């Protein structure tokens, strides 16, 4: 009996040692990636928070810690109104980009969900803007939306609509940027939804047809619920990307006119590299990071009950 017990203990000890070695090997495999994230992602975030407690000005050679001075400037000083305005503009832009990506994408996917050379060519044409650089696209759209000789105003004049000063009016400047954005993102949403639709089993639709369900009802009660994981993916990724919009704003409007397109990332850029107040830019960037983190986490948790993975 003692010999059997001893043998079991030896085997258990060998198994434990083997498992420990396997865990060490697994850790060594992920260590390079972990080190990369620590150096290039997590450390900058921590250092960004630290800079917010200094008076770092790029014009000066040195800086010192000033406590909560920059935080008071943002929440109880002259920066508060600009912060609220910039946050409102950013969320407005984000709302419309998400709406264009989700609604436009799913409608185009349903329309072009057919196998033919014509539809394949049309899908390629709609998706192609995704691969064109934002700066290049923005320059082209500055010509299209020009208030004096833009092609869009020319087309509108054929229907009796007068010239619209698209980019130089605080009422239409953000809409001008959204026109460019919609042209670029709707094809991406279409392709993602189209790939998801192809993954839905046709048995669902065949059973619904036998029950007499119309095309609208099949779309409402089969397609939309089974596309909810794709919708969640597009919502989260589009939310993060649209909240960080910068290039199109920088090229087309430079945050104007009258700060009507002054989104948060562009404001951070101006604070750091125009006003040279890296300390204030760090505070705004820190709060912006927390907003993205909270909204993304909340979305993932709240959507758990409405997302279906049966397909």
User: Are 39 and 75 found together in one domain?
Assistant: no
Residue 145 to residue 176: CA distance in whole angstroms: 7
Q: Please write the tens of the pLDDT for every residue from 71-96.
A: 999 999 999 999 999 999 999 999 99
Residue 193 to residue 190: CA distance in whole angstroms: 5
What are the two backbone dihedrals, phi and then psi, of residue 54, each rounded to the nearest 5 degrees? -115, 175
Q: Share the mean pLDDT of the chain.
A: 88
Residue ranges making up the domain that contains 113: 69-305
pLDDT at 20: 82
pLDDT band at 251 (very low <50, low <70, confident <90, very high): very high
User: Are 16 and 111 found together in one domain?
Assistant: no
Residue 127, pLDDT above cutoff 60:
yes
DSSP characters over 230-273: HHHHHHHHHHHHHHT--HHHHHHTTT-STTTT--HHHHHHHHHH
pLDDT band at 284 (very low <50, low <70, confident <90, very high): very high
pLDDT band at 309 (very low <50, low <70, confident <90, very high): low
Residue 270 to residue 273: CA distance in whole angstroms: 5
Number of other residues whose CB lies within 10 A of the CB of residue 140: 13
User: Are 73 and 156 found together in one domain?
Assistant: yes
Residue 27 in contact with residue 40, Cβ under 8 Å?
Answer: no
pLDDT (mean) for 30-48:
90
pLDDT at 4: 53
16 inside domain = yes
Bond from prior residue into 257 cis (ω within 30 degrees of 0): yes
What are the two backbone dihedrals, phi and then psi, of residue 53, each rounded to the nearest 5 degrees? -100, 10
Nearest to 183 by CA among 232, 251, 136, 253: 136
Q: Which of 139-143, 236-240, 303-307 has the least mean pLDDT?
A: 303-307
User: Are 24 and 162 found together in one domain?
Assistant: no
pLDDT at 117: 83
Residue 310, pLDDT above cutoff 60:
no
Predicted TM-score (pTM) above 0.85: yes
Between 174 and 303, residue with greater pLDDT: 174
pLDDT at 205: 87
pLDDT at 13: 58
Residue 95 in contact with residue 296, Cβ under 8 Å?
Answer: no
User: Are 25 and 129 found together in one domain?
Assistant: no
User: Are 134 and 274 found together in one domain?
Assistant: yes
pLDDT (mean) for 18-29:
83
User: Are 124 and 187 found together in one domain?
Assistant: yes
Residue 296, pLDDT above cutoff 90:
no
40 inside domain = yes
pLDDT at 70: 95
60 inside domain = no
Total domains in the chain come to: 2
Residue 126 to residue 111: CA distance in whole angstroms: 12
Q: Which of 1-5, 233-237, 283-287 has the least mean pLDDT?
A: 1-5
Q: What CATH number does residue 93 fall under?
A: 1.10.3720.10
């Amino acid at each position: 009996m003692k010999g059997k017990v001893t043998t079991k203990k030896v085997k258990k000890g060998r198994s434990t040692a083997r498992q420990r070695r396997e865990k060490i090997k697994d850790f060594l495999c992920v260590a390079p990636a972990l080190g990369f994230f620590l150096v290039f992602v997590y450390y900058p975030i921590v250092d960004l928070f630290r800079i917010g407690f200094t008076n770092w000005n790029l014009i000066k050679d040195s800086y010192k810690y000033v406590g909560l001075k920059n935080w008071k400037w943002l929440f109880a000083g002259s920066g508060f109104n600009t912060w609220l305005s910039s946050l409102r503009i950013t969320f407005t832009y984000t709302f419309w980009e998400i709406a264009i990506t989700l609604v436009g994408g799913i409608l185009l996917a349903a329309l072009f969900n057919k196998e033919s050379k014509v539809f394949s060519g049309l899908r390629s044409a709609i998706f192609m803007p995704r691969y064109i650089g934002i700066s290049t696209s923005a320059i082209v759209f500055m010509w299209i939306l020009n208030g004096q000789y833009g092609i869009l105003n020319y087309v509108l004049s054929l229907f009796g609509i007068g010239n619209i000063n698209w980019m130089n009016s605080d009422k239409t400047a953000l809409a001008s940027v959204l026109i460019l954005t919609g042209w670029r993102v709707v094809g991406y949403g279409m392709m993602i939804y189209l790939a998801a639709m192809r993954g839905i089993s046709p048995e669902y639709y065949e059973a619904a047809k036998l029950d007499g369900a119309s095309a609208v009802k099949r779309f409402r009660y089969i397609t939309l619920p089974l596309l909810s994981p794709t919708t969640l993916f597009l919502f989260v990724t589009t939310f993060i990307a649209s909240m960080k919009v910068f290039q199109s704003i920088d090229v087309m409007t430079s945050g104007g006119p009258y700060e009507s397109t002054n989104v948060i990332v562009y404001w951070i850029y101006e604070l750091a590299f125009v006003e040279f107040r890296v300390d204030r830019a760090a505070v705004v960037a820190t709060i912006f990071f927390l907003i993205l983190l909270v909204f993304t986490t909340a979305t993932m948790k709240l959507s758990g009950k409405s997302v279906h993975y049966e397909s």
